[in-house]
Amino acid sequence: MLEYLLVFLGAAVPWIEIMIVIPLGIIRGLSPMWVMILSFAGNMATILLLIIGFQPIKEWMDRRKQKKGKGESKRQQRAKKIMNTYGLPVLALAGPILIGTHIAAFIGLVFGAKKLNTAIWSAVSIALWCLVFGILTAMGFDFFVNHT
């Protein structure tokens, strides 16, 4: 039972997330189905906390920007262009393998994505990647166990 709790907590931590937790849990011998479900739940729990708590962070960022008297940096302009070109779905779907789900959700929110849309696309992305990592790990692990 403790190992399944660790799967949930590991998936909730940014930068550890599902890409690491799912393969480790399955290789450890835990049920692939429960590892995927708990990884999804752990990752979504902190994504939802980020979405709910985003407004105070956004207000702080706006105040900080006003104090400095600067507009958007070149990096911010580039990120905004990517967000406007490809949109939240691509950002959310690519997030787990490129920058992490939490950062992808945060970037989407910073550049004006609605909270509900961010939650939905994050859930779709996390569910998809949980399945991909879970199935590939289980199939690969079974292949090596059965062919050695």
> Does residue 122 carry a pLDDT above 90?
yes
How confident is the model over 29-56, as a mean pLDDT? 94
Please state the rounded mean pLDDT for residues 89-116.
88
Nearest to 6 by CA among 23, 20, 25: 25
pLDDT value at position 118?
Answer: 93
**Helix or strand (DSSP H, E) at 146:** helix 115-146
Dist. CA 22–CA 17, nearest whole Å? 8
Q: Please give the pLDDT value at position 135.
A: 93
**What are the sequence ranges of the domains in the chain?**
2-146
Residue 71 has what pLDDT?
A: 64
Q: What is the DSSP letter of 71?
A: -
Assess whether pLDDT exceeds 60 at residue 148: no
